[in-house]
Structure 1
């Protein structure tokens, strides 16, 4: 009997525990269904309206800096280096002596030629005196005067040879690294150094063929060097940032490259501070005539994806939401994903060619955590500031 009572008690205990657990599971299932109906909690986002801006029309590309004048300095004749009159990276003026080669043999020959010319002059003077007295033949006088001219020509030849042994700067500019040493035998055409003019720089770049109709010589070109830093250099105008300069288009290739369908353009920049170096990579903005209106949004609003770029437009819900407000009382709205076609960028903004209309409320902060028709509430604290010409500071 005692065993039966124990078994019945055990069954009642197990049954009671099963009823409690079933009640808990039922409650959890009901809570889950309630949460599923209510949906995920709203996300906090920052928003700003899409605005209409008036932008100057421009074309953007990249270019390569080329020297206005640049040469590789070398000697015309061979010889032994006896004097080096420059240092690597030095600024020189046109005509400055750079290198002198051994010219002792040519100078000795010049001295001998001058002596021969002096003798020929004396002989020719005597022949003219004798010819005047009628005791000299015309043939002898002609031979003596010819000897004078020949001796003078030989002097000029030797002077030219000596001058070629002195290597000078063909124009003003900055020298490169020195590739010659004192006492070195320098062959004809062997490089000594390079010389680049510093009074300007060319920037060569390419643009698509459909932009050729908008191009003309004289258009302003804005140049910027990536990674050049910021602030102003000593000697630059106030507000001009380091690594930025302006130039003008000076030449446009009349034909289009058949393989790339691009047209080549050359611009000339003043390069007063010497920031543009030959071979350097620069960003190029060609400022076209006229202005146009664009719908722009901050760059932080764009969600980039392989299948297309998009933004999230904040809209009031068409149907009432299970949770219309947040615990703080902020109204809950829906973020609709809208695919867009983007245009050019200006500072912190990008032009939207299609997909967004002016005045629509766009998510500019927190878009990465949203999905289509996600519930959101607006929290614009702190304010995300976007500028057309940002000047961020390094930290």
Structure 2
């Protein structure tokens, strides 16, 4: 029986172009691409709107910065030299005793004003006074002996040598009496000059050794102030110049005086020289040892353009200020704009600084708020909170 061979099945024929199957594969891809393009278009549109708004906003005028300003004036400046120093009594001593002894009485109260030669302390001097009386009696006897021998010498009853001996003996005994009298006087301690006596720790019955301090005696009116000035400022100091003195704790009080002495040498370490001024102190408010400030008036008054120190900006490349100038904006309206300019500053006093160049009288100078400015920035002046501009400021408490 003949073998029958089974024919193997043929592979499917490839799809022809444009067949339904191929169209089914391309359709999802086209839809996905279309969706992506739509999303990209939406994002691009949003960004375009945002960028257009930013561009429009950048073209809008900047809001005006609120600042304080003032027209620059001329002011009178009195040249002066300021320094700190200490008050010193014109006359002041620690009252002591030359001799020892027991205190019998005190003739003062601490803090009391005492006149010159007023009794301060009386030491017990009973034995010294008794010794003085004995020496005085001996000296009186020597006077009698000398007188008698002189009478006898007239009749040649004694020699001239005897009279000379009597004379020398009298002088020696009188000197001994004077020495004792001086010792007795030292037991009475008196004020060497008028002044105010300080606190004492001495009491009646207490024994004082020679040199023990009893109390401090000082004259307060007038009073000295000693202060130092650098070598560079010595030329501005001269004897007789007026001095204004203020001290902590004596608010709203200024004491006047004049330069009385300039030391003859400088301190080799600091190159400063000590200046002494005599100050009137009628109420004795200034006390020796007190810290005080002295301002010496020197030279003739000067005229400077004067502005608050807050108006000046100090930079490494120079010192600048901002001046508010009038200009027209795009709409033709007058507006104030800030213009930065370099200046040269002079001396300072209190809250103020002198300007030597860079501005002129009448310029509208910005005194605060300039940290947020640049050239051409529009500004609006509001002086409701203007900075201090006081040549002699005092601490403010609010």
TM-score normalised to the size of structure 2? 0.75
CA offsets 1:294-353 (integer angstroms, 9 cap, x no match) = 121134535679998764432346x848x998xxxx9453364867635121x5533234
Q: 1:44 aligns with which of 49, 56, 66?
A: 66
For the residue of structure 1 that corresponds to 2:157, the secondary structure is coil
Q: 1:124 aligns with which of 146, 162, 171?
A: 146
Q: 1:286 aligns with which of 296, 305, 308?
A: 296
**Contact kept in structure 2, 1:64 and 1:203, CA below 8 Å:** yes
Q: 1:344 aligns with which of 329, 348, 362?
A: 348
**Contact kept in structure 1, 2:152 and 2:158, CA below 8 Å:** yes
**Contact kept in structure 2, 1:340 and 1:356, CA below 8 Å:** no
The verdict on how the C-alpha distance between 1:28 and 1:81 changes in structure 2, with shifts beyond 3 A counting, is farther
Matched, 1:95 2:114: no
Corresponding residue for residue 5 of structure 1 = none
Corresponding residue for residue 192 of structure 2 = 170
The verdict on how the C-alpha distance between 1:371 and 1:168 changes in structure 2, with shifts beyond 3 A counting, is farther
Residues 306-321 of structure 1 aligned to structure 2 (within 5 Å): 311-316=321-326, 320=329
Corresponding residue for residue 9 of structure 2 = none
The verdict on how the C-alpha distance between 1:62 and 1:82 changes in structure 2, with shifts beyond 3 A counting, is same
**Contact kept in structure 2, 1:67 and 1:202, CA below 8 Å:** yes
Corresponding residue for residue 367 of structure 1 = 369
The verdict on how the C-alpha distance between 1:228 and 1:147 changes in structure 2, with shifts beyond 3 A counting, is same
**Contact kept in structure 1, 2:341 and 2:358, CA below 8 Å:** no
Could you list the runs of 5+ residues in structure 2 that have no partner in the other structure? 1-37
Distance in structure 1 (CA, Å) of the matches to 2:57 and 2:112: 76
The verdict on how the C-alpha distance between 1:43 and 1:177 changes in structure 2, with shifts beyond 3 A counting, is farther
**Contact kept in structure 2, 1:313 and 1:338, CA below 8 Å:** no
The verdict on how the C-alpha distance between 1:179 and 1:129 changes in structure 2, with shifts beyond 3 A counting, is same
Corresponding residue for residue 260 of structure 1 = 270
Mean CA deviation greater in 134-143 or 56-65: 134-143
CA offsets 1:108-129 (integer angstroms, 9 cap, x no match) = 1112112222332333333333
Distance in structure 1 (CA, Å) of the matches to 2:283 and 2:227: 22
Residue 394 of structure 1 and its aligned partner are, at CA, apart by 7.7
Mean CA deviation greater in 135-144 or 74-83: 135-144
CA offsets 1:90-145 (integer angstroms, 9 cap, x no match) = 21121111112221221111121122223323333333333334433434333333
For the residue of structure 2 that corresponds to 1:206, the secondary structure is strand
For the residue of structure 1 that corresponds to 2:362, the secondary structure is coil
Distance in structure 2 (CA, Å) of the matches to 1:184 and 1:30: 102
Could you list the runs of 5+ residues in structure 1 that have no partner in the other structure? 1-14, 231-241
Larger Rg: 2
CA offsets 1:133-160 (integer angstroms, 9 cap, x no match) = 4433434333333332222111110111
Would you say how many aligned residue pairs link Structure 1 and Structure 2?
361
CA offsets 1:34-59 (integer angstroms, 9 cap, x no match) = 55665864332221122222323222
Distance in structure 2 (CA, Å) of the matches to 1:368 and 1:224: 35
**Contact kept in structure 1, 2:322 and 2:338, CA below 8 Å:** no
